[in-house]
Structure 1
């Protein structure tokens, strides 16, 4: 493995900056950014891949934020602030303070086989190492595919490799912690045809990374495995938290947006969540809930309340049409209205606060990072 030309860990991340803007203005502008994106260059970005996000990463008011890059956005990056382009009125401040996230040093390295570290794992947010350990999915046929997902598009473009080997992930994780101050890791996977749906390979990967960097907290993400005892295997391998992502609790929405995944019943999900809470603990289990797929907002909030009562963190995220996905290429889908996202986010945030569940209390994972949601901006 060649030596990097840089040395030492990254400087400490900046302390949270309070802009003086009214909280109402800050949350609304943050939601607009999540939906409309921003104009400007972002050194750390993610294109294509698993899930509903295609974003650039930065810090807004000291919090990690994943924001789409959109040349048509009315929001403009200008140094350490975000400006709103009011056309005839010109540029005006939003009150949001911005810090760029620098390209990490570990991206400059390669394995002995010549694979770029960036193709094995990527920086998400300010200090999260993320990887898709298996970049193919049995549900990727157009008739079965989740319409917001492009997991195999990044593989076809050459941006990643099909299967990440445990030893390679351990090598990358060690370098990312040493050179860039990585504080947590997320491992997700495409769904395999095996009974475990890919969870056992996740366990092998976790075990290898933990052997190399024992103190690095890891979240794993997978569908409910056919044998729920596999959840204990993931915990025993060293994973501290888990995401079992359903995206919607409405069966009609699931059948439309994720027909293959919808064959796993909500009863199977509930059983997996319950067992995961038993194994990993309350507020160490999470699931994505996407706002904007057509689910009634009141029912979405009621479903989030049900999850919270189970000890599962509902990671509420606005749907953003992802280039290369069926949602964009076939459906020509649009992002939801900002007022709907804000209403749902605020209501779920209140439920989380009342239950004493905060995303930052998770040891690792999407809720711990918070960049793809706005829940952290409302106290959740």
Structure 2
């Protein structure tokens, strides 16, 4: 059995996003604010974050992806452990607790690992941002100086090409963006050529978006996860109190400041939203110049959706259909994730959109 066409590659990429792979992955992520419990690999040369599942029929062997022992014709290789993981700050904090490698060339950090919405009645049901803090995998607050120190080392030793910086939501009107801006300035002082994406909720004062750009960020993620208010109220009871119109205003301002296709938002497949509505929401975003980063919901330990609701991953057919249609809309609009200067869409590891050409 050999798969050689793009359609076959997309079908397999979607399949392994749901069923996982058997692979020894030196770079992986467990817990956190977004898709996790993944091993980082190169799938046909593209950065990919795939669930590691020892019961999967897919096996990575000597750079090849096998299905039930048969060669699929697709190349998959694990990302190597970066050299900066072996270092620590002067006070003994391991660099790996400050920032992590995502994919092969992306450095990522959550600058504040706590969130005002983490009480169970408020929490996003797919999120485990504070679980990695509780396990000791990270620290609560990363200072601008320590993040800049790690970024410089990762740039020098491992050749990272971009950085993603997110934050738990704070009580302030900026919703955490002010600390992000301080961190961006410190990183740009240490590594001027490093491209940075920042991620936050829509700030109450839209001037904050310009502040992030002037600090040195060149892409921004303002993540809504769903454009359906009923889905939002169930899955994100606290976050859903930020009206969609506030998101739309923030996206429009972000496009004005950062430029078309330098703004993105997550859309999660598998939260009960009608696929046609999801694709229509993605088209609305594309029309605004915002990249809809389509990612499957994945059952992750430590989240309410998994530990309480027992929500499964979406059907492969639904994920394939939505990914294909959204990628076609992106292609028609001339928007590709790889054209973003930094961030989740530029990396592409958590989605199959780049495999589909989006």
Same fold, TM-score > 0.5, yes or no = yes
**Residue equivalent to 1:77:** 60
Tell me which residue corresponds to 2:21: 38
SS in 2 for 1:377: coil
1:11 alignment partner in structure 2: none
1:275 match: 253
Is 1:340 matched up with 2:323?
Answer: no
* Equivalent residue for 1:237, pick from 215, 218, 221: 215
Equivalents in 2 of 1:134, 1:338: separation in Å?
A: 34
Q: Distance in 2 between matches of 1:54 and 1:260?
A: 25
Contact 1:52/1:321 (<8 A) preserved: no
Quote the residue 2:357 is aligned against. Answer: 379
Correspondence for 2:334: 356
Matches within 5 A, 1:1-380: 21-85=4-68, 91-380=69-358
Aligned counterparts of 1:347 and 1:329: Cα–Cα separation in 2: 31
Measure the CA separation in 2 of the matches of 1:313 and 1:54.
25
Equivalent-residue separation in structure 1 for 2:89 and 2:219 (angstroms):
28
Aligned counterparts of 1:22 and 1:313: Cα–Cα separation in 2? 25
**TM-score, length of structure 2 as denominator length:** 0.98
1:52 positional shift = 3.0
Does the CA-based 8 Å contact 1:26-1:95 persist in structure 2? no
Deviation per CA, 1:186-218, whole angstroms, max 9, x where unpaired? 000000011110000000000000000000000
- Report the TM-score, using the length of structure 1 for normalisation: 0.93
Verify the 8 A CA contact 2:3 2:72 in the aligned structure 1. Answer: no
Secondary structure of the 1:320 match is coil
Distance in 1 of aligned mates of 2:280 and 2:305: 26
1:199·1:225 contact (CA, 8 Å) conserved in 2? yes
Kindly indicate whether the alpha-carbon contact (under 8 Å) linking 1:189 and 1:202 is maintained by their aligned counterparts in 2: yes
* 1:231-256 superposed Cα distances (whole Å, 9 cap, x missing partner): 00000000000000000000000011
Q: Is the 8 A contact 2:267 2:292 kept in 1?
A: yes
Contact kept? 1:222, 1:245, Cα under 8 Å: yes
Name the CA distance, whole Å, in 1 between partners of 2:152 and 2:206.
Answer: 30
Q: Which stretches in structure 2 are left out of the alignment for 5+ residues?
A: none
Q: What is the rounded CA distance, in whole Å, between the counterparts of 1:120 and 1:309 in structure 2?
A: 36
Distance 2:209 2:252 in 1: 11
Q: Residue in 2 aligned with 1:6?
A: none
Shift of 1:321: 1.0
Unpaired runs of 5+ residues, structure 1, are 1-18, 86-90
Runs of 4+ in structure 1 off by over 4 angstroms are none
Deviation at residue 20 of structure 1 after TM alignment: 6.1
Number of residue equivalences = 357
Q: Say if 1:53 and 1:322, in contact at 8 Å, map to a contact too.
A: yes
The C-alpha deviation readout for 1:254-300, integer Å capped at 9, x for no partner, is: 01111111011100000000000011000000000011111111111
Partners of 1:81 and 1:96 within 8 A in 2 = yes
Secondary structure in structure 2 of the residue aligned to 1:327: helix
Contact 2:3 2:9 in 1 (8 A): no
How far apart in 2 are the matches of 1:249 and 1:92? 40
Contact 1:292 1:335 in 2 (8 A): yes
C-alpha distance in 2 between matches for 1:112 and 1:208: 18
